[in-house]
Structure 1
Amino acid sequence: MRLRFATYNMLDLTLSANSVQEADRQRRVVETIRAIDPDVIAVQEVKCAPGRVDRLVAELGERTGLTSVVRQVDGRDVHAVAVGDNTVHVALLWRDGLIPLPASFRAFSPAVHHHGGWRGVGYGSLVRVAFQMGGRPLMFASYHAPAFGRHRRIDQAEVALAAVTGPNAAVLVGSDFNSVGAARVGGESYDRDPYTGQPWWPDLVHQCREVTHPGTSHRADRRPAEVWEAGGLHDVAAAVRAPWVATTGHWPSCPYSVRGIRRRIDMIHATRTVLQAVRGVAVVDNEVSRAASDHLPVVAEVDLRALPMAQGAVAGR
């Protein structure tokens, strides 16, 4: 039995566009998700006021043939969403027939809403939920790492790690990781450094380790990814030695794109329990997906029959 898990940053998806051009772009986002036909998908950049996020994710589910509803022990229905701190949020959606384990659902949000305004920048939210699959609980999460603040990104990587992992846990996390990966294949970095050798420009202050004396020696800050690799969440594409494919760098107005910088910052991570069951990872790179968002989706295929049997509590704190 195969499971298809995807992650997708949808570029400020509102489903209520203010122009024909934007409405057409958002239609392509929905078309891309439907073409992926995921069993479970982690999405980022659901854009709306916090009070509307449940309705917006429910509408996305209707348009893609998926659901995000978790029936709680007390009978309440909640949506698998986590509010972000820049009016963009994360969610998990899944196909009909999958039944979430109610106790597994949890949202982690740094959002601060004050007098109708927002404080803070950089998103940084995570939602998780598990399903009984392959004879054991399998946890899924959607994570959007902070866009700004190198040290904040490292700290939140630790928090996110603690939120989903545990002894012998089976976990898949889809994310806009907002930094370069740290996985190594054959002694070499799976992701080349996209910044070293590039002319310095101000945006690199939140992407590089050396910022006090900009020059040709600046290098990507891989520390958030190092936290996950050391803590037991591993980059699936690197682990299965999939061909390296950028997930950003194709969008015409992106400041990285105009400088010719192509990065792979959309990732699927998994615990070792799941890695042995992964049968492939691919970036959805086609005409429609390139016109839909500044990020390309990533899809992993998992053979549920290869998951080791396990009993016990669901992972995460």
Structure 2
Amino acid sequence: MSASDLIRHGTYNLFNLSKPRTAEEKERYWHLVEATRALGVHSLSVQEVLGVDAEEAGQVLRQFAVDTDLICMTAPNPRSGAPAEPAIAASQHGHLDMDGIFRGNYHVGLLWSPEIQPVPGGWRAYNGLPDFWHAMATQVLDFGGTKLKVGSFQGDPFRPDWRFNEARRVVSAYLTQSGVLGGDYNGLASDLRAGRRFRKFLMRLWPCAGPDYYDPEPYTRQNHGLLEFQIQWRGRRSRRPKADRRAGEVLRRQGLLDAAAVASVPWQATCGHWPGDVWGLRRIDTNRVTRDVAPAVVFHESVLTDVTRAAADHLPVVTGVDKTRIEHSEKNS
């Protein structure tokens, strides 16, 4: 595989990114810039871009794009006549910061390197409400002759039932196109480890064995109020809590596969390093690929460095796709 055949796609929760005001915020902003530059990605899904509306969040995204040497402007739509705009999808949810100031809602966005071209008419913003608690953004990008739908998504952090239904809306956007979706899913995946066929055989013999999930159970020894947003209903508090994976099951079953499980790489956390985190090490950030892209996944990693640890409460994740190995199906024609 030559370097020109590799597509590097990343996803990064930027942790309340807004226009920096204080010296501390400016320092963290430049940590984010440095971390993003070091990823060397061709495309990047980002979450938690703050603004009171999409226009303000778009200004934040445009400045971040300039500082990271990336692009975020979509192509004009020849059918509708819509002009180019920042690739930002609007959310209707936000909250006050530690100083009691409203910094804006949590939007999601997309960026790409200058040599990658946005396809005219390939942009769509799935704005929050009624579809999502946060939002989803998708843009068809031309990676030198290979066109993929690239998306950014952030799941509902508080309601497992809504997260479950959001997943159905997510997969509807990828029914007819090949692509990759990066996101902070705010929940664990249901994808299985390599050798899952043998595990399924064992489950038929001994149902108590349970599925061999790629992500181990992180909550069984935890007992705090926030668990209610992440676990299955227990009935009795004495029962060990298990992660609610229904949203992840919808995504997996409908063909948006977790690139980490596809690549069968050693498990790596994306959260748990930030001071004050009550969840411990867990993995809720990943890139998901459509079934025809899955055979082309050649690597997947969470990027843990001193800079990424200092920049945000989530680590960036990068997936490598060999575009010569994408299984072109009818939906790509």
TM-score (norm 2): 0.85
Match of 1:24 in 2: 27
Aligned residues of 1:161 and 1:231 also touching (Cα < 8 A): yes
Farther-moved stretch of structure 1 (100-109 vs 209-218): 209-218
**d(CA) in 2 for partners of 1:178 and 1:279?**
25
Q: Does 1:181 align with 2:189?
A: yes
How far did residue 217 of structure 1 move?
Answer: 2.3
Structure 1, unaligned runs of 5 or more: 113-121
Match of 2:168 in 1: 158
Aligned residues of 1:135 and 1:310 also touching (Cα < 8 A): no
- Matching residue within 85, 95, 101 for 2:113: 95
Tell me the alpha carbon deviations over residues 254-302 of structure 1, each in whole angstroms, 9 at most, x when there is no partner: 232xxxx211000110011111111100110011000000000000111
Q: Does 1:76 align with 2:83?
A: yes
Aligned to 1:76, the other structure's residue is in SS state coil
Q: Does 1:130 align with 2:143?
A: no
- Matching residue within 37, 57, 61 for 1:57: 61
State the identity %. Answer: 30
Aligned to 1:126, the other structure's residue is in SS state strand
Counterpart residue identity of residue 53, structure 1: A
Match of 1:115 in 2: none
Q: Does 1:280 align with 2:304?
A: no
**d(CA) in 1 for partners of 2:272 and 2:82?**
45
Counterpart residue identity of residue 94, structure 1: W
How far did residue 306 of structure 1 move?
Answer: 1.3
Summarize the alignment of residues 298-313 of structure 1 with structure 2, pairs less than 5 Å apart. 298-309=317-328
Match of 2:256 in 1: 233
**d(CA) in 1 for partners of 2:162 and 2:265?**
30
- Matching residue within 3, 13, 26 for 1:9: 13
**d(CA) in 1 for partners of 2:20 and 2:43?**
26
RMSD over equivalenced CA pairs, Å: 1.9
Tell me the alpha carbon deviations over residues 13-60 of structure 1, each in whole angstroms, 9 at most, x when there is no partner: 11x323212221121011100010210000000011113012111111
Tell me the alpha carbon deviations over residues 101-138 of structure 1, each in whole angstroms, 9 at most, x when there is no partner: 122211111248xxxxxxxxx84310001123464421
Farther-moved stretch of structure 1 (204-213 vs 234-243): 204-213
**d(CA) in 1 for partners of 2:323 and 2:332?**
19
- Matching residue within 306, 309, 312 for 1:293: 312
**d(CA) in 2 for partners of 1:271 and 1:312?**
11
How far did residue 88 of structure 1 move?
Answer: 1.0
Structure 2, unaligned runs of 5 or more: 94-104, 200-211
Aligned to 2:125, the other structure's residue is in SS state strand
Match of 1:190 in 2: 214
How far did residue 142 of structure 1 move?
Answer: 0.3
Q: Does 1:245 align with 2:279?
A: no
Distance 1:215 1:25, change over 3 A: farther
Aligned to 1:255, the other structure's residue is in SS state coil
Counterpart residue identity of residue 159, structure 2: G
Aligned residues of 1:48 and 1:88 also touching (Cα < 8 A): yes
